[in-house]
Structure 1
């Protein structure tokens, strides 16, 4: 007979661990980290893995992120791993029950992992977590992902400029990237970072340009070669069509508000 209570205890602890990591991930994301980075760093802090990466340094840049990370580290150090180990040993010692217990554990843990990775479940749970964090914490949390529209088709990307690229050896004024729906947030040149660069800033081979715009446009820009005027014209026309659609949507919303 399967040892029900030890297995249920194990699955409850595992589910709570997933929930804690999920809450920590959402909290870090609300402070400006990307979803992937927030999830990885929340898991790292909770498990005590302690990966040293550039993103890990960003986690401790602000008081809000340090508070979230410390909470995850403390919760992860409460001996959950030891508790799980003890529970596993308690029912694997039972004679003749090793295989049924093992199958039950694998099935239960697999089901929880699939549920945690489910898109519809995350869409259901994430707003609840965000609401709870805003109601129960005094952290100054801002969902920069939502503010910038990064959960849609917009992205922030770093594009390394090589000789012969369309971006190389041109000033930002001559490139006129806003006409394509792309904003230049900064230019990294060696150890120097130029934030909010002026229009006369020249992009040089070896620079890394930080851009904000639609993902497909950023990908195309990173591969566009010098002299490719046709692609440039298409990008400008495509952005103008987007603006027309946006104007129509704004006009419809304004007309709907007037009718109310």
Structure 2
């Protein structure tokens, strides 16, 4: 005879464990981690297995992530201790060991199938995200690390004057990526805001542009006059040399060269 209540108790604990890991994964993803990293680190923290890697150290660099990980570790310890009792009880009757084991395995398989269901994930993920958004503050705050701002890269605001090189040109004409610079947004003089502007967007005097790139390049771009074509050519060449230098120093490039 199967120990029904013990099996059900164990399966409920297992289902709750998967739900907690899923919530933790979504919470970590909301702080800026990729879905794969967030899922692995949530499972690692909850189970206590593997949470000693370099990736784990990177995960706990911000207060919000540390709080999530700490909660998962605590819940994981409580959950596994709770699961042990019904598991031991279910196997006390030797005569029902095989049936109980089969019931547990079947129940676990069903729960895993539901947990991996894309339909179910599409249904519950938005609900969890809305709940976390209303009850917590998990928005991305570690902009410095995400954008590499602790090194030579910066986010910079430039106010556009009539004699500024950026003035009265579209982003297609400017082709800022050729200089290693990205246009993130434009604050118009009338107070409107253009996020992720397209190639045909034109910059006007009085606008304030938000740029991302190397600090020295952004500073030069802010000081560049509208007729300074040589500075533009030097900036493009400098970026090309920088990119080529990165390619030469990359491990993949060194491996390719060693094969020839």
TM class by smaller structure: 0.5 to 0.7
Give the aligned partner of residue 96 of structure 2.
97
Q: Does 1:141 align with 2:139?
A: yes
Give the aligned partner of residue 57 of structure 1.
57
Q: Return closer, same or farther for 1:176/1:143 CA change in 2, 3 Å cut-off.
A: closer
Give the aligned partner of residue 7 of structure 1.
7
Q: Distance in 2 between matches of 1:134 and 1:101?
A: 41
> Does the 8 Å contact 1:30/1:143 carry over to 2?
no
Q: Deviations over 1:114-152 (max 9, x none)?
A: 111111111111001001101222x242499xxxxxxxx
Name the SS of the counterpart of 1:126 in structure 2: helix
Q: Return closer, same or farther for 1:98/1:26 CA change in 2, 3 Å cut-off.
A: same
Name the SS of the counterpart of 2:95 in structure 1: coil
Q: Distance in 2 between matches of 1:175 and 1:75?
A: 46
Q: Distance in 2 between matches of 1:42 and 1:130?
A: 15
Q: Return closer, same or farther for 1:94/1:130 CA change in 2, 3 Å cut-off.
A: same
Per the normalisation by structure 1, the TM-score is 0.57
Per the normalisation by structure 2, the TM-score is 0.57
Q: Distance in 2 between matches of 1:196 and 1:52?
A: 34
> Does the 8 Å contact 2:114/2:120 carry over to 1?
yes
Number of residue equivalences: 166
Give the aligned partner of residue 19 of structure 2.
19
Q: Distance in 1 between matches of 2:9 and 2:51?
A: 30
> Does the 8 Å contact 2:48/2:73 carry over to 1?
yes
Quote how far apart the aligned CAs of 1:176 are: 10
Q: Distance in 2 between matches of 1:57 and 1:126?
A: 26
Q: Distance in 1 between matches of 2:81 and 2:67?
A: 25
The residue correspondences of 1:39-58 to structure 2 (distance < 5 A) are: 39-58=39-58
Q: Distance in 2 between matches of 1:135 and 1:208?
A: 43
The residue correspondences of 1:22-171 to structure 2 (distance < 5 A) are: 22-78=22-78, 80-137=79-136, 139-142=137-140
> Does the 8 Å contact 1:3/1:91 carry over to 2?
yes
Q: Deviations over 1:203-232 (max 9, x none)?
A: 2134459xxxxxxxxxxxx9xx9xxxxxxx
Q: How big is the alpha-carbon RMSD for the aligned residues of Structure 1 and Structure 2?
A: 3.1
Q: Return closer, same or farther for 1:133/1:96 CA change in 2, 3 Å cut-off.
A: same
> Does the 8 Å contact 1:27/1:141 carry over to 2?
no
Which of 186, 194, 213 matches 1:196? 213
Structure possessing the higher radius of gyration over alpha carbons: 2
> Does the 8 Å contact 2:45/2:69 carry over to 1?
yes
**Unaligned residue ranges in structure 1 (runs of 5+):** 145-171, 179-194, 210-221, 226-260
Name the SS of the counterpart of 2:93 in structure 1: coil
Q: Distance in 2 between matches of 1:2 and 1:143?
A: 51
Quote how far apart the aligned CAs of 1:100 are: 1.0
Name the SS of the counterpart of 2:33 in structure 1: coil
Give the aligned partner of residue 253 of structure 1.
none
> Does the 8 Å contact 2:45/2:72 carry over to 1?
yes
